[in-house]
A and B are shown apart, each in its own frame.
Chain A
Amino acid sequence: MLSYIVRRLGAAVVVLFGISLVTFIIAFAVPADPARLIVGAKASPAIVAEVRHQLGLDQPLPVQYIHYVWRLLHGDLGTSYVYNMPVASLIGQRIGGTVLLAVACWLAELIIGIPLGIYTARRARTWIDYAVSALALVGISLFVPWLGEVLLYLFAFKLPVFPLGGTGGIRHLILPALTYGITGAAVYTRLLKSSMLEVLGQDYVRTARAKGASEQRVIWRHVVRNALIPVVTVAGIDIGTLLSGVVLIEVTFNWNGLGSLATEAISQLDIPVIMGTVLFTAVLVVLFNLLVDILYVFIDPRIRYD
């Protein structure tokens, strides 16, 4: 078990290293000269050269990369060209909004997806099962910003129940979370349904029934508990998809977070902020997956690691 954790950690370090290399290469591939962006179009070549030197851009690429990783290890993600402040503090200012929104979206998809999965598994091959399956397919095929737009139109404009976007508390969170919930729930509904159908065919379920346990007890104590394992895995690992979705939700609902930070940075070609956000979210995904994998060692005794 310990060797599994060590190996898993080793793999995560390799992946983190790869991520830093990818962001470095992309940032280097930018056609625009960062020094020129900082000093403006009118500055003399001498000043541009001076700034290039200050930024270390006149050094060989491998040296630049080593400096880049060294700074990353010290939590230095670079300095924004536009705000002229550390990217890390910009991310720090915006991360709260994104975390709040992401948690709300994540809960919404579980709250919609899990009960539907349990319900349809018990009514497999009935019309309601087919109807939910069809709806699930539509949910997966929906374009998140469009659904958000439609919900805003219906429930914030036509029926002014919710605010027309913006950052805020519960009232501001409901429509964005619902938007993400509707599109994301289908994955959980399908997964839970197929996993419940599989568990329902297991011997221990038959044993539970044979010893006279009530149907409610069989379903809740035996089937749902076991069928939830793959669902929990996906719910824990799918943070990358969640973050991508949340970026779109932020732009659609005018929510202040990392996604809107990155989008603003793109319109201003603020490369350090763009790359800093991408790197930060990727690292977040790796660490989160690592955490889920390691927690599993303790949670699920059936999984053997050797």
Chain B
Amino acid sequence: MSTVLPNGSLTQAAERKRGIGRALVKSIREYPMVYLGSFIVFVLIVVAVFAPWLAPYDPTKQFANGLTPDGMPVAPNHQFLLGTDDVGRDELSRLIYGSRVSLEVGIFATFISLVIGTTLGLISGYFGGVIDSVIMRLTDVVLAFPFLLLTMALVAVLQPSVTNVFIAIGVQGWGTMARVVRGQVLAVKSFEYVQAERAIGASTARILFRVILPNVLGPVIVLAALSVGFNILAEAGLSVLGIGVQPPTPSWGNMVSEGLLTYRFAPWMMWAPGTALLIAVLGFNLLGDGLRDIFDPRTTTHG
């Protein structure tokens, strides 16, 4: 029985395969930041989704042998790979579960900002006049508050929980997005294809969402990626101020904040969560910056 394919198609298939490989290598060379960023974000999502399977232990379980006889955290060993914290919980498990809070807050807060910012920016830029002035003053108000201080006040009033934290971050993170979208709309709305749509009697909603929106999406996607990183840091910042996601839910911010009290005798409690935060935020920043270089070659930030 012959399994040999006609000679021609074999080489063709191999060549096509090599072609794809080569194209991939070329595109990775061209956009290393986007690929590295996407890879980090992908790993982060996998860790967050599969946390129960990946974590060696229950992140809230306090181990009897998780504390030394004199009540100190245990340094990294074969049972607790990243050591334990000051109440004898496994740091690695807390780190793995902590990715959930960071991602949830980072992504949902960005989503809220994105919806509010894009909608207001579209309306403001398209209609102009009084509507534009009102929306832009509103944006000025939101942008005037030091981000962390207003979030802090909002969360203090709403009571800290994952939902309230991302709502508080999301409802004031839209200012920059609204301004950017508005600017793009102003640039795009006088183009011929928009005029043409208007001339054939397209509805305002159609022009806004089907014609203009796709054309202003590039910078929005870039801002969204950068904003996820920013929001992850904002959530961690709230934890350090004592109003983030409340214990015993593990979050990287809470872990860094515990590290402030324990770095003198248990430095491992400080290294792990800070490094995790750095890698996660770096991933989104790489993605955002890399995409910006693709969408807008004029504003190259690197090289």
- Given A143-B233, A143-B274, A149-B260: A138 touches B282 (CB 8 Å cut-off): yes
B42 contacts the other chain (CB 8 A): no
Partner of A144, one of B137, B237, B282, B303: B237
A interface secondary structure, majority: helix
The reply on B270 being an interface residue by CB < 8 A is yes
CA distance A77 to B153 in the complex (A): 15
* Majority SS at the chain B contact face: helix
Which of the listed residues B138, B146, B270 has the most CB atoms from chain A within 10 Å of its own CB? Answer: B146
Q: Is A178 an interface residue (CB 8 A)?
A: no
Which residues from B are CB-within-8-Å of A243? 146, 149
Q: Does B301 contact A (CB under 8 A)?
A: yes
A146 with B270: CB separation less than 8 A? yes
Q: Which residues of A contact B242 (CB under 8 A)?
A: 263, 266-267
**Contacting residues, chain A, for B159 (C-beta < 8 A):** 31
Q: For residue A146, which residues in chain B have a CB less than 8 angstroms away from its CB?
A: 256, 259, 270, 273-274, 277-278
Cβ-based interface call for B77 (8 A): no
Instruction: Using A137-B285, A145-B257, A240-B144 as known contacts, say yes or no to A248 and B240 having CB atoms under 8 A apart.
Output: yes
Assess whether B263 is in contact with A140, with CB atoms less than 8 Å apart: no
**Residues of chain B with a CB closer than 8 A to A157's CB:** 263-264
Report B-chain residues with C-beta under 8 Å of the C-beta of A244: 146-149, 237
Q: Chain B residues in contact with chain A, CB under 8 A?
A: 137-138, 140-141, 143-150, 152-154, 156-159, 229, 233, 236-237, 240-243, 253, 256-257, 259-260, 263-264, 267, 270, 273-274, 277-278, 281-282, 285-286, 289, 299-303
The 7 closest A-B pairs by CB, nearest first: A146-B274, A18-B141, A244-B148, A141-B281, A243-B146, A141-B282, A133-B302
Give me the interface of A with B, judged by CB distance under 8 Å: 11, 14-15, 18-19, 22-23, 26-27, 29-31, 124-125, 129-130, 133, 137-138, 140-147, 149-150, 152-153, 157, 190, 194, 240-241, 243-244, 247-248, 251-252, 262-263, 266-267, 269, 271, 274-275, 277-278, 281-282, 285-286, 289
